[in-house]
Structure 1
């Protein structure tokens, strides 16, 4: 009995390159890898706040966000970050990634992040949904 390919099936020589392309698109650089990176950066930021590690917390802020915070207070970030009224956050509920932008929703807080050459940085923190506007944030860049 001869093997007959069912109509619409991919020929075997085309299947291997197609699978390889799918693996490249969904591998470490894919959404799953970025989702973990966004979550890790957001959790590290929240942990820096919790442990009062101002240097780590400030290092995880996006440059424009850090500059806005410092210029509004007239002091270095490490001096003022603990005084910001950022909510206490519970566990991560959701992480969304769209290209170079990410959002991490915790119980009690939402962080927005952007991808920079040295990793994901927080562009806005202490964000809560606001009727009539997308979010109101305690800390955000200009």
Structure 2
């Protein structure tokens, strides 16, 4: 009887862990989708200071170094176009991809939340994406 009780307890524990694990993945996808939407809305409004706030630190640094000006000014000069609504998100641990109507964003998870590492990314056959905005 003790063996059966232990087996039932293990089954219940595995079921609960499995369900909560799925919830965590869905929650992470939702967070990625929300970050991508905030990025796209700010981009569409030309609110480049808000766009910069959603970028990863290394991406801001790379953008500022290559442009020789602060992030918001560099973005206003480049004038990247919004990619539209999020169609799909893929989360792999602390990395994610958000596929938009006409763009792909790559994101990383930091202690402060999800941040855009690369944007303006185009797929290339058998090669890595080419991104207009990216970190070093």
Smaller-chain TM-score bracket: 0.7 to 0.9
The number of residue pairs the alignment matches comes to 131
Greater Rg, structure 1 or structure 2?
1
2:56 matched residue in structure 1: 62
Work out the CA distance in 2 between the residues paired with 1:111 and 1:74. Answer: 24
TM-score, structure 2 as length reference: 0.87
Aligned to 2:11: 15
Which whole-Å CA distance do the structure 2 matches of 1:37 and 1:23 have between them?
18
Q: Assess, with a 3 A threshold, how the Cα gap between structure 1 residues 123 and 13 changes in structure 2: closer, same or farther.
A: closer
Contact 1:54 1:78 in 2 (8 A): yes
Does 2:46 align with 1:37? no
The aligned residue for residue 93 of structure 1 is 87
Asked if structure 1 preserves the Cα contact closer than 8 Å seen for 2:64 and 2:70, the reply is: yes
> 2:14, 2:129 → 1: CA distance?
41
| TM-score, reference length from structure 1 | 0.84
Q: Give ranges in structure 2 of 5+ residues lacking alignment.
A: 1-5
Residue 59 (structure 1) shift? 0.7
Matches within 5 A, 1:1-142: 12-27=8-23, 30-142=24-136
> What is the CA–CA distance in structure 2 between the aligned matches of 1:90 and 1:52, rounded to whole Å?
14
Retained in 1: the 8 A contact 2:43–2:82? Answer: no
Deviation, structure 1 residue 112: 0.3
Q: Structure 1 residues 86-95 or 69-78, which shifts more?
A: 86-95
Gaps of 5+ in 1: 1-9
Query: Partner of 2:80: helix, strand, or coil?
Result: coil
Deviation per CA, 1:66-113: give whole Å up to 9, x if none: 000001111110111122242332221111110000000111111000
